[in-house]
Chain A
Amino acid sequence: MQRHAVKRSLLLAASFCVASLLAVCGWAIFLAAPREITMGDVQRIVYLHVAVAWGGLAGCVTMGVAAAAYLVRRNPVWDRWSQTAGELGWLCTTLTLATGSLWAHEAWNTWWTWEPRLTASLVLWLVFAGYFLVRTSLDDPERRARLSAVLAILALADVPLVIMATRWFRGIHPVTPEMDPRMRLVLLTSVVTFSALLVLLAVLRKEQLELAARVESRERAAGIIN
């Protein structure tokens, strides 16, 4: 009971810290960062875009690593970490595509182009979606964890493709553009803030999955579900 209370206090403190960081980040993006000369205020999308793109890739890597750990250890906790990372990775990749599309409309005058990094990111989004399709197709928790873990490991193959797409295939996506030092600082703040937010969300979601699994096992034991 005492342990539960400590955990709850820690989560509340972490939530407060992340909320403060988000407020600072919002101020930095909209007020502190200088206005870009060519694109104007639209360029501020980049601060969110880069942060969520990083979250998407980190989510995919974490999903694959946790999946490998599950296959080796057979501890369901690793499966829950893998699912959590996959969900957050998918959310971040969706936001990456949406914010990227908004930026592209202003910068390239099109919502979408078959540029290597855009294509690789869309593939990543589809792989995440496939991972969840497999998860929802299986009722047996052990089989669901095992087969989705294999798919999560296969999904890792797309990560180097997304990262290296602009270098290998000579696309038009910016790689490391020249930036005002203040802009660079705001970008760094944004990445750190979103990383903290994602870690907090991951911990909360994993706790929720733990509870759901506990309820499910009790329902099974009581004969309520098969």
Chain B
Amino acid sequence: MTSFTDMARTWWWLVHKDLLREWRAPRAWPAMLLLALALAMIMNVQIDLPARQRAELAGGMFWLAALFAGSVSLDRSFSGEQDQACWQGLLLYPVGPATVFLAKLAVNFFPLCALEIALVPAFTILSGVSLLADPGRFLATALVANLGFSAAGTLVSALTTSLAQRSGLLVLLLLPLVLPVVLGAVQATRALLVGEPAGWWSWWQLLACFAGVFVTLGTLVFEFIVEE
């Protein structure tokens, strides 16, 4: 019990450290927000369709904007630790790799959720489609989609952080891996917007399954990525 409490406390300090650093010297967050807004704007400018067809497409546009912008934060989550050997310093502390993974996962997960909270009203104004037609289910979709995306993204970001072509490889490896998340989130949101709750449930299950698999895999294999 004590070890779990210790782990939770360490986890919180790691999350706190990264969030505070980004809060004091924002680098990824403003870029994420601006990229998401720019993508939402560009996609909505191009589409002039009747309301029903807009509702069919809105989920896709929203999730593409949110998850593309989310990859900006992923890129920063480990590269920020490279300065002045912070990463080596962190690994010298008696902190389990699984705790570091879960902390980094949270550091990617929370800003993505915050980004979507800001993006939903902006997207509703730009597209004329209310994404919150069924707020409870939309929230459930967003939570599992963000968790799956952040888990896979954290792993790939850790894997590529010390490679020569880091940013290019991050996107190349991440996009195929998270395709089920993009597909699941888009289809679940589409089902909500066109009023098909039965369809939503099967896509939500896929998202939850993906999140569960990647969080578990991450806690198991992260120690092999960070090994020196």
The interface of chain A, by Cβ under 8 A from chain B, is 71, 119, 123, 126-127, 129-130, 133-134, 137-138, 146-147, 149-151, 153-154, 157-158, 161, 168
Contact = CB atoms under 8 A, between A and B. Distances in A.
Of the listed residues B176, B179, B183, the one surrounded by the most CB atoms of chain A closer than 10 A to its CB is B176
A71 B221 CA distance: 9
27 contacts: A71-B224, A119-B183, A123-B176, A127-B176, A127-B177, A130-B169, A130-B172, A133-B169, A133-B173, A134-B160, A137-B163, A137-B165, A137-B169, A138-B163, A147-B159, A149-B224, A150-B221, A150-B224, A150-B225, A151-B159, A151-B173, A153-B221, A154-B152, A154-B155, A157-B210, A157-B214, A158-B177
- Interface-centre pick from B169, B173, B213 (highest chain A CB count, 10 A): B173
B176 A134 contact: no
B217 A130 contact: no
Interface of B: 152, 155-156, 159-160, 163-165, 169, 172-173, 175-177, 179-180, 183, 202, 206, 210, 213-214, 217, 221, 224-225, 227
B122 to A, nearest CB: 29
A153 B160 CA distance: 15
A168 B221 contact: no
A158 B155 CA distance: 16
The 5 closest A-B CB pairs, nearest first, are A126-B176, A130-B173, A123-B176, A137-B163, A150-B221
A119 B206 contact: no
Contacts of B160: 134
A137 B164 contact: yes
A150 B155 contact: yes
Contacts of A133: 169, 172-173
Nearest to B228: A143
A147 B225 contact: yes
A168 B206 contact: yes
B153 to A, nearest CB: 12
A188 to B, nearest CB: 32
Nearest to A71: B224
Contact of A134 (B152, B173, B177, B221): B173
B217 A146 contact: no
A153 B43 CA distance: 35
A134 B179 contact: no
A128 B193 CA distance: 35
